[in-house]
Amino acid sequence: MMARSLGGGCAPLFRSTLSLLALCAALFMQSAAAEDGYELWLRYHPLPAEQRALYAPATSQLVMPTPSPTLVAAKDELLRGLNGLLSQRPASVERVSASGLIVGTPQSNPQIARLDVGLKGLAAQGYVIRHRRVDDQTVVVIAANDDVGVLYGVFHFLRLLQTQQPLGNLNVTESSRIQLRMLNHWDNLDRTVERGYSGFSLWDWHKLPDYLDPRYTDYARANASIGINATVLTNVNANATSLTAPYLEKAAALAKVFRPYGIRVFLTARFSAPVEIGGLKTADPADPGVQQWWKDKAAEVYKYIPDFGGFLVKANSEGQPGPQDYGRTHADGANMLADAVKPFGGIVIWRAFVYSHEQPDDRAKQAYDEFVPLDGKFRDNVLVQVKNGAIDFQPREPFHPLFGAMPKTPLAMEFQITKEYLGFATHLVYLGAFYEEVLRSDTYRPRQGSTVAKVLDGSVNNYAHTAIAGVANIGTDRNWSGAQFEQANWYAFGRLAWNPMLSSKDIAEEWVRMTFSNDPQFVKPVVAMMMKSHEAVVDYMTPLGLHHVMGRGHHYGPGPWVEGGPRADWTSVYYHRADAQGIGFNRTKTGSNAVAQYAPPVAAQFGDLKRVPEQFLLWFHHVPWDYRTQSGRILWDELVYRYTRGVDTVREMEGTWQGLAPFVDAERYQQVAAFLKIQENEAKWWRDASIAYFQTFSKRPLPAGFAPPEHSLDYYKSLEFPYAPGHH
């Protein structure tokens, strides 16, 4: 991604001394060899010679006029990629006289206007890559109806080279059914990042708008390369200051950098902003003065950012202000904002992650209970954004029962890429596998086959708007995401947002090839390691459907003993309900009946102790300690078995990685190895602490052959982490 400039910088200093020059050269070589992960998957290092020879003819000439900033960006990327991968710069020509590339839209490139490459009916930002005969030459055409599509096509073409795919007879047609593929940054104006484990916020608000960090461009390139086309710059726990003129000017500067890359900027709106920065006495959405304030504010925002996407709102949740403070509904609040941005083509994304001060009998039920009655009451430019599960980004959750239950309201998905509940950045957990599991879940609404993915892409209910959002894991760390393998989660999120039907395993393979190596001896074991990593974390943290048993507040490490405090549903004991008889949350008819929020066939399955998938056993059922699980082991033994299996899997992962040193540069190799060690230690900590705690209820011995916890329960309970990252 970046030119290494150390060598050049040395020369003037030591011009005269030969030995120092030699030292300089040595430093340069070292820096060229060391990799810190900054380049992400856009690591255009030279391909092996035989591969270069295969690709060289196809890229010898280039017909690509660049009448727009997006096309300039696309051409820059193409040249950068070819230069790096093939050490070749194609000759820019008006007509090909040898084989080469023809790139653009029918408007930008007259040759494409003359070719029939199948652009009719292609959705916005879609593209094709095809072989054609032009001027007696075989060329590769990368074409789209719009400039962003061309940029995406270029990234796709480069990916083919990066992953060493055969180029014979290319016939790619790609478009996304998900209109908004967006990152949600939980970034505060002081640059701390809520639930961020990769340094500080990339947005250097203090120096904006005058100084534009080059990283903003690299951020945009990385996102465009996977089809992400929207970014919410600010935290959902919003600060009204971000809507004041100086901050709008700063946001506009970022929007300007992102625009050529097809990325639209959104901001979070604090519901009480009219009071806090507008001097009004109320933020009641029924108040005409408040409505006018938001209309004026929207007009102001669009003056700064003409293609502003709209507002993302967290309201009446975890103490955030909202319409319910004034006796109004979520729809009243959302519609007021929707009316304000409507004249400018903006949208409002209203989050369904709500839970009020009055505690329901089961927090899992609240979003459904509050939102289903509002179906059909939202303006046509409102989307409701729903977390993947009903509790909160747990290592594993069943899909949220709202998916499929609001046929008249476009629902957006909210995944969490940052690993708040999954061991932070140092645990290697490939989330692609989990996203895929959720997207493929069948809601049975209105009928079998209505998967979450099909609800989201609008095909089930014909939604006018479609969106998938991910809470970003990006910060100022050189490697962007806090760990090399965290980049895979950003990557997989983007690829699945583009096409929710993709296989997470294929995505992992693509990413490994681009990020590390195409060598099958490396790719195969690493992909296998990634694919089992999610199951591993579930095993050592929350096996069999346990959830929300992390340390209080920061969510770091085990805390199944957490109890007391302001709200029952902020404790662990509320969720696991362990007692002398058994463990688990009874969400069936005899309990909270949350299960009834699912379509009848799903409810029947989840609600039946015999049929519930074992991965959700304790999510839906309170189960006796001696209940016989599918393995034949009783529940207690099965829990111990799974906790232990989780730790063992991490050890296997370490073993796999140890054998791979020859394929990776030392710097990245060592960081991954060190983090796996941390993960192993913490997995063991999770296992031991959980077993020590739950044993006080089960009062059963560990099954034969399983090691007892290393320390006493009191020891685990005594651990405190007041400065754990991400918690503010």
Q: What's the token pair of residue 220?
A: 């945009």
Which residue in the set 194, 332, 436, 437 belongs to the binding site for ligand BDP (CB under 6 A)? 194
User: Using CB under 6 A as the criterion, what x/- string covers residues 320-359 for binding ligand BDP?
Assistant: ---------------------------------x------
Query: Nearer Cβ to ligand BDP, position 554 or 587?
Result: 554
Least distance between ligand BDP and beta carbon 270 (Å): 13
Alpha-carbon gap, residue 109 to 152, rounded angstroms = 16
Examine residue 69 and say whether the peptide bond preceding it is cis (omega within 30 degrees of 0): no
State in angstroms the smallest separation of the CB of 418 from ligand BDP.
10
Q: Which of 284, 420, 680, 682 is catalytic?
A: 420
Q: How many residues bind to ligand BDP according to rule CB under 6 A?
A: 11
Shortest distance, position 504 Cβ to ligand BDP, whole Å: 22
DSSP string, 506-561: HHHHHHHHHHT---HHHHHHHHHHHHHHHHHHHHHHSGGG----BPTTT--SB-TT
Query: Which of the ranges 50-58, 311-319, 453-461, 685-693 carries the binding residues for ligand BDP, by CB under 6 A?
Result: 311-319
Smaller CB separation from ligand BDP, 253 or 541: 541
Binding mask 206-235 for ligand BDP (x = CB under 6 A): ------------------------------
Q: Cis before residue 520, ω within 30 degrees of 0?
A: no
From 54-62, 219-227, 312-320, 611-619, give the range in contact with ligand BDP by CB under 6 A.
312-320
Shorter beta-carbon distance to ligand BDP: residue 236 or 492: 236
> Which of 137, 237, 244, 459 touches ligand BDP by CB under 6 A?
237
* In the block, residue with structure tokens 């009655």: 373
Q: H or E stretch including 264?
A: strand 264-268
Q: Does 535 bind ligand BDP (CB under 6 A)?
A: no
Instruction: Tell whether residue 392 is a contact of ligand BDP (CB under 6 A).
Output: yes
Q: How many CB atoms lie within 10 A of CB 93?
A: 15
Annotated catalytic residue, options 77, 362, 370, 392: 392
Among 75, 159, 250, 314, binds ligand BDP (CB under 6 A): 314
Structure tokens at 224: 């465009």
Region 558-617 residues binding ligand BDP, contact defined as CB under 6 A: none
Q: Which residue is nearest to ligand BDP (CB)?
A: 392
Q: How far apart are CA 296 and CA 275, in angstroms?
A: 14
CA nearest 522: which of 627, 660, 413? 660
Query: 30, exposed or middle or buried, with CB in 10 Å at 0-12, 13-18, 19+?
Result: exposed
Count other C-beta atoms under 10 Å from residue 659's C-beta.
11
Pick from 606, 584, 582: nearest CA to 594: 606
Work out which of 47, 96, 236, 405 binds ligand BDP, going by CB under 6 A: 236
Contact 637, 479 (CB under 8 A): no
Encoded one letter per residue, x for contact with ligand BDP by CB under 6 A and - for no contact, window 135-174 reads: ----------------------------------------
Would you call 510 a catalytic residue per the annotation?
no
Q: Is 361 a catalytic residue?
A: no
Contact of 6 with 28, CB cutoff 8 Å: yes
> Are residues 116 and 143 in contact, defined by beta-carbon separation less than 8 angstroms?
no
> Please, which residue, 128 or 471, has the CB nearer to ligand BDP?
471
- Catalytic one of 76, 287, 300, 318: 318
Q: Is 420 an annotated catalytic residue?
A: yes
CA distance linking residue 526 with residue 653, whole number of Å: 9
Angle at the Cα of 485 from the Cα atoms of 481 and 489, rounded to 5 degrees: 70
Residue 415 makes contact with ligand BDP by CB under 6 A? no
For the residues of 269-333, what is the DSSP string, one character each? --TTHHHHTT--S---TT-HHHHHHHHHHHHHHHHH-TT--EEEE--SBTT---GGGGT--HHHH
Per CB under 6 A, the segment of 140-148, 310-318, 368-376, 582-590 that binds ligand BDP is 310-318
Query: Which of 35, 332, 370, 420: binder of ligand BDP (CB under 6 A)?
Result: 420
Nearer to ligand BDP, 84 or 726 (CB): 726
Residue 536 near residue 431 (C-beta atoms within 8 A):
no
For residues 451 and 440, the answer to whether their CB atoms sit within 8 Å is yes
CB of 196: closest distance to ligand BDP in angstroms?
10
* DSSP single-letter state for residue 414: E
Q: Rule CB under 6 A: is residue 393 a binding residue for ligand BDP?
A: yes
Smallest gap, in angstroms, from Cβ of residue 193 to ligand BDP?
10
Cβ proximity to ligand BDP, 538 vs 550, nearer residue: 550
Quote the least distance from Cβ 366 to ligand BDP, whole Å. Answer: 13
Please give the residue ranges that form the binding site for ligand BDP (CB under 6 A): 194-195, 236-237, 314, 317-318, 353, 392-393, 420
Query: Which residues are the active-site residues?
Result: 318, 392, 420
